[in-house]
């Protein structure tokens, strides 16, 4: 229960709160209730506190009474001063109001004065403007009177004065009176323009229907009108340039174009000058450049004598370039000689053109610089035209000459040593030296099975390696065969894949790679192997001797035609630098002619494929033509080099120095190689596709599959025979044999691979496959040739690298296990097949037995030696 708080304590707490705003510190007092009985006591406490405060105030007032009286006295004085200040301020305000009123009166008086001045100035200006308008009106009257009486120049001068006066009107130019005068001035100007135009048309008459132009010096109307007056008037009207432009168009269309332009019928119109008239009449009989230049000079003379300089000279600025353009297009360019025979006449033509330009100078005409530039560039123009004509000749002759075929012979002399196949073959009068010409997909490196003599050095003749004519050494051949066979066993690829056409590169500008098999000139005659496979002993002597190799092949007339054009170009260089033409304007271009052979060869490469496409042996013809062209050019370069030793031409103009055709010859040879490669790859693909019909000889004894196999083998043989009949008239004999060897090698490689891939070969299948071997062996008839003695000679093994391997495969299919073992241990089977191949064939042909295990073990043991 809370403690009791007295009324006195509550009153004290209440008074403290009122006086000081403090809160009771005692919790009892703060929380004590205030009963109604405590109110009297609270009022008492407050009343006592109020009385106490009043007493203190009175006490303080009594003590400060004297000071307060002083303050009151000072306050009263201050109040009086403030009252006086208010009165003074009121007076000041009244004076300021009076001054403002006076200033307003002054401003009003000034504005009235300014208005009076402006009115006076306006009246004066208005009087001046009225006088000017009156003057303008008088000028317009004089303009009209002058125009009516034909005094055009005076009228135009007064009209110009009127324009000046209009400018002086200032802001009054927008007034109605000024607008009326302006319209009248425009009407007078339009009337003068119309009159002047009529005068111009009367002085310069254009009759398109009659193709006639009349240029008059004056015309008689109400008054005599002189052309000078009309020209001056048009100049003042700023219309002369437009009239000259129209005159240029009319003159060009009516006179210049008919005289200079040659229509589709080759007809050119002539013209006639009769007094003031110039008119197109009849046709020109003299179609020479000289006659044309004379006519142009006559046209220029006609214009200059009948038109004043202010018209003739600006007209020449437009007309001369038109004349020059048509003259160059229709007369000068066709006059450019196509050979050196016309250079003298062309030089005279250039002199005449310069004469025409000088005549224009005499007339003070401008615009003839185009003619001088053409004369200065005549050498370049002639060279450009010569290049175009040469390229056009090649482009036009190829479609015609590709149908013309002829047989050509290539003869080459090689220096060989005793012991070389060529040397020995020459002594034996053996003509089947297996050569082809060039480095194509050439069968040059075909016949890698051919057994060659080791260390048969040759002498390089005309930068051609004699090794390109022969076959590789026997050991290298065997090593290559082993590597190829290993690759075939691992990757299951055809042996023919070695002749990948992609190695050639198909870009014309890229140098073709030398493939493994190209019909290159093989100058080494492969020797016949002995029955036991031993290589004949090489003679010890190394006596050198000259051997001449020759073969014929078919080409079109294209290479000889291109060669003739190139030779003519070289002759033109000599002619241009001869005593008769060395001083002509064309002579400096002679060195540029050496670029034409490269352009012609590039043109041939670019278009040859389309020209030969209609011939079934087109690619082979391309190869032969490229070979023929490169051979003739190389021979020509050698002969020209000898000729230049005694030539009178400066060294920097000699063909042996300037005619750089090495890269072009490589390109043309590479182009031929690629054509040969494309054809060979195409035929090889066909052969492979035909043999794919055998399905790997699986079930070759089953009726349905047997027919497919029989047909595939028969079609392959027929296809190769058909290829021979197609290529025989085209390729050289050795190239034909090597190309056929490549196809036969592809067929045999496919056949060998398919047989080796068979994991099980039954006896009946073996006999059937052997019969296919017999059929394919008939292809050897394609390689039977006659030697010098007329005796038949089988060259199959030389041109078909895998021929011996194929023969051994045939024997294995028809032999017993003992025979196969004998072929491996005592025969030459190991030279053609590796042990793995033979073992796989034995496993496929023979069932598991002790004899088979022993044979396989023997083969493995001996193959590791």
The pLDDT value given to residue 726: 93
**Under a CB-based contact definition with an 8 Å cutoff, are residues 419 and 576 in contact?**
no
Query: CB–CB of 407/703 below 8 Å?
Result: no
Contacting residues for 744 by C-beta, under 8 A, at least 6 apart? 720, 779, 782, 796, 799, 800, 803
The answer to whether 371 and 300 are in contact (CB under 8 A) is no
Q: Who has greater pLDDT, 773 or 703?
A: 773
Q: What mean pLDDT is predicted for residues 434-445?
A: 40
CA distances from 622 to 442, 617, 619, 673 (A): 14, 9, 5, 9
Region of poorest pLDDT, from 319-333, 503-517, 557-571: 503-517
Q: Is residue 687 pLDDT above 90, yes or no? A: yes
| Cα-based distances in Å from 742 to 299, 436, 531 | 76, 14, 25
DSSP conformation class of 849:
-
Rounded CA-CA distance 738/800 in Å is 8
- Res 3: pLDDT: 52
What Å distances lie between residue 533 and 7, 536, 826, 827, CA to CA?
156, 9, 11, 9
What's the average model confidence in pLDDT over 838-858? 90
pLDDT top residue among 467 and 776 = 776
The per-residue pLDDT for 431 is 37
> Highest mean pLDDT: which of 129-143, 487-501, 811-825?
811-825
- Mean pLDDT of the chain, nearest integer: 78
Biggest CA–CA distance in the chain, Å, is 178
Among the residue ranges 131-140, 388-397, 588-597, the one predicted with the least confidence is 131-140
Question: How high is the pLDDT of residue 134?
Answer: 65
So where are the chain's domains? 7-63, 68-200, 239-376, 399-673, 678-863
Give me the pLDDT at residue 293, please. 93
Q: Average pLDDT in the 113-139 region?
A: 71
pLDDT digits (tens, 9 = 90+) for 250-261: 999 999 999 999
In the prediction, which pLDDT does 414 show?
Answer: 63
pLDDT range class, residue 172, cuts 50, 70, 90:
low
Least confident of 59-73, 305-319, 367-381, 666-680: 59-73
The predicted structure's pLDDT at residue 146: 67
Which of residues 808 and 126 earns the better pLDDT score? 808
Q: How confident is the model at residue 514 (pLDDT cuts 50, 70, 90)?
A: very low
pLDDT tens-digit map of 525-575: 333 333 333 333 444 445 566 777 788 999 999 999 999 999 998 888 888
What mean pLDDT do residues 625-650 have?
86
Query: For residue 190, what pLDDT band results from cuts at 50, 70 and 90?
Result: confident
Among 114-123, 334-343, 410-419, the least confident range: 410-419
Q: Are 743 and 687 in contact (CB under 8 A)?
A: yes
Cβ neighbors of 865 (< 8 A, separation 6 or more) are: none
Judged by average pLDDT, the poorest of 364-373, 619-628, 697-706, 831-840 is 697-706
The pLDDT value recorded for residue 736 is 92
State how far the Cα of 158 lies from the Cα of 155, in Å rounded to an integer.
Answer: 5
Q: What pLDDT digit, counting tens, does each position of 13-67 carry? A: 777 777 777 777 777 777 778 777 777 877 887 888 888 888 888 777 777 767 7
Q: Helix count (H) and strand count (E) of the chain?
A: 31, 11
Closest CA to 215 of 319, 299, 320, 316: 299
Q: Output phi, psi for 216, to 5 deg.
A: -110, 150
Ranking 74-78, 341-345, 480-484, 585-589 by mean pLDDT, the lowest is: 480-484
* DSSP alpha helix (H) spans, 149-175: 152-168
CB of 709 closer than 8 Å to CB of 750: no
Per-residue pLDDT band for 742 (boundaries 50, 70, 90) equals: very high
Please tell me the least confidently modeled range out of 60-64, 164-168, 508-512, 845-849. Answer: 508-512
Residues 782-796: tens digit of each pLDDT: 998 887 777 888 899
3-state secondary structure 52-106: HHHHHHHHHHHHCHHHHHHHHHHHHHHHHHHHHHHHHHHHHHHHHHHHHHHHHHH
Least confident window among 180-189, 226-235, 275-284, 362-371:
180-189
Between helices 7-20 and 39-63, what is the axis angle to 10°? 50
Distance from the Cα of residue 87 to its chain's centroid: 105
What does the pLDDT read at residue 669? 93
Q: Which class would CATH give 678-863? A: mainly alpha
Q: Could you give the 3-state DSSP secondary structure of residue 410? A: strand
Structure-model confidence comparison of residues 770 and 476, the more confident one? 770
* Pairwise pLDDT comparison (527 vs 671), residue with the higher score: 671
Contacts of 299 (CB under 8 A, 6+ apart): 255, 256, 259, 271, 278, 323
């Amino acid at each position: 229960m809370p403690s009791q708080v007295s009324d006195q304590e509550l009153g004290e707490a209440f008074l403290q709160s009122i006086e000081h705003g403090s809160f009771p510190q005692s919790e009892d007092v703060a929380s004590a209730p205030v009963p109604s009985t405590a109110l009297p006591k609270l009022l008492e406490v407050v009343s006592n506190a109020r009385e106490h405060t009043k007493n203190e105030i009175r006490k303080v007032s009594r003590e400060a009474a004297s000071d307060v009286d002083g303050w009151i006295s000072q306050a009263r004085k201050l109040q009086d001063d403030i009252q006086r200040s208010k009165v003074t301020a009121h007076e000041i305000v009244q004076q300021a109001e009076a001054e403002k009123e006076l200033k307003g009166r002054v401003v009003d008086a000034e504005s009235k004065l300014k208005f009076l001045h402006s009115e006076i100035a306006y009246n004066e200006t208005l009087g001046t403007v009225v006088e000017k308008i009156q003057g303008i009106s008088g000028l317009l009257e004089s303009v009209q009177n002058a125009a009516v009486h034909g005094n055009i120049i005076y009228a135009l001068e007064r009209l110009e004065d009127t324009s000046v006066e209009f400018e002086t009107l200032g802001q009054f130019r927008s007034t109605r009176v000024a607008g009326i005068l302006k319209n009248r001035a425009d009407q007078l100007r339009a009337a003068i323009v119309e009159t002047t135009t009529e005068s111009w048309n009367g002085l310069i008459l254009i009759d398109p229907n009659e193709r006639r132009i009349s240029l008059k010096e004056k015309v008689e109307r109400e008054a005599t009108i002189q052309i000078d007056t009309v020209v001056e008037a048009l100049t003042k009207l700023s219309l002369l340039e437009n009239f000259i432009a129209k005159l240029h168009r009319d003159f060009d269309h009516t006179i210049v174009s008919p005289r200079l332009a040659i229509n589709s019928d080759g007809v050119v119109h002539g013209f006639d000058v009769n007094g003031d008239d110039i008119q197109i009449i009849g046709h020109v009989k003299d179609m020479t450049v000289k006659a044309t230049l004379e006519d142009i000079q006559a046209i220029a003379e006609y214009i200059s004598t009948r038109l004043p300089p202010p018209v003739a000279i600006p007209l020449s600025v437009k007309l001369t370039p038109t004349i020059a353009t048509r003259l160059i297009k229709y007369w000068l360019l066709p006059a450019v000689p196509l050979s050196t025979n016309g250079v003298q006449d062309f030089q005279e033509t250039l002199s005449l053109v310069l004469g025409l330009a000088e005549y224009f100078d005499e007339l003070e005409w401008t615009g003839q610089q185009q003619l001088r530039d053409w004369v200065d560039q005549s050498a370049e123009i002639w060279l450009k035209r010569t290049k175009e004509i040469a390229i056009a000749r090649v482009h036009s002759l190829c479609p015609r000459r590709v149908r013309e075929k002829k047989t050509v012979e290539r003869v080459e002399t090689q220096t060989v040593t005793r012991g070389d196949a060529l040397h020995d073959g020459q002594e034996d009068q053996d003509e089947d030296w297996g050569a082809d010409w060039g480095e194509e997909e050439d069968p040059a490196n075909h016949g890698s099975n051919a057994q060659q003599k080791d260390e048969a050095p040759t002498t390089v003749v005309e930068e051609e390696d004699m090794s390109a004519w022969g076959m590789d050494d026997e050991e290298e051949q065997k090593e290559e065969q082993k590597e190829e066979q290993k690759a075939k066993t691992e990757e299951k690829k055809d042996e023919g894949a070695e002749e990948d056409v992609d190695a050639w590169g198909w870009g014309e500008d890229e140098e073709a790679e030398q493939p493994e098999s190209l019909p290159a000139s093989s100058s080494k005659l492969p020797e016949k192997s002995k029955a036991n496979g031993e290589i004949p002993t090489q003679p010890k002597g190394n006596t050198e001797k000259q051997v001449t190799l020759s073969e014929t092949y078919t080409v079109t007339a294209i290479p000889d035609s291109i060669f003739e054009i190139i030779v003519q170009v070289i002759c033109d260089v000599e002619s241009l630098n001869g005593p008769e033409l060395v001083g002509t304007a064309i002579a400096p271009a002679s060195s540029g002619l050496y670029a034409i052979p490269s352009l012609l060869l590039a043109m041939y490469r670019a278009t040859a494929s389309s020209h030969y496409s209609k011939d079934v042996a087109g690619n082979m013809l391309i190869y032969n033509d490229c070979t023929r062209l490169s051979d003739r050019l190389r021979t020509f370069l050698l002969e020209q080099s000898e000729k230049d030793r005694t030539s009178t031409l400066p060294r920097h103009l000699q063909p042996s120095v300037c005619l750089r055709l090495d890269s072009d010859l490589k390109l043309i040879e590479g182009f031929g190689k690629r054509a040969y490669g494309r054809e060979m790859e195409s035929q090889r693909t066909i052969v492979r596709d035909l043999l794919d019909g055998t399905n790997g000889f699986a079930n070759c004894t089953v009726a349905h599959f047997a027919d497919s196999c029989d047909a595939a083998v028969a079609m392959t043989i027929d296809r190769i025979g058909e290829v021979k009949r197609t290529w025989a008239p085209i390729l050289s004999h050795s190239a034909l044999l090597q190309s056929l060897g490549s196809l036969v090698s592809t067929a045999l490689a496919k056949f060998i691979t398919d047989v080796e891939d068979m994991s099980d070969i039954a006896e009946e299948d073996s006999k059937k496959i052997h019969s296919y071997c017999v059929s394919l062996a008939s292809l050897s008839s394609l390689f039977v040739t006659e030697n010098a003695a007329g005796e038949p000679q089988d060259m199959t093994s030389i041109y078909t690298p895998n021929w011996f391997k194929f023969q051994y495969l045939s024997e294995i299919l028809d032999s017993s296990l003992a025979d196969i073992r004998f072929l491996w241990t005592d025969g030459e089977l190991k030279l053609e097949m590796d042990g793995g191949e033979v073992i796989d064939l034995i496993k496929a042909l023979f069932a598991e037995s002790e004899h088979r295990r022993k044979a396989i073990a023997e083969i493995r043991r001996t193959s590791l030696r």
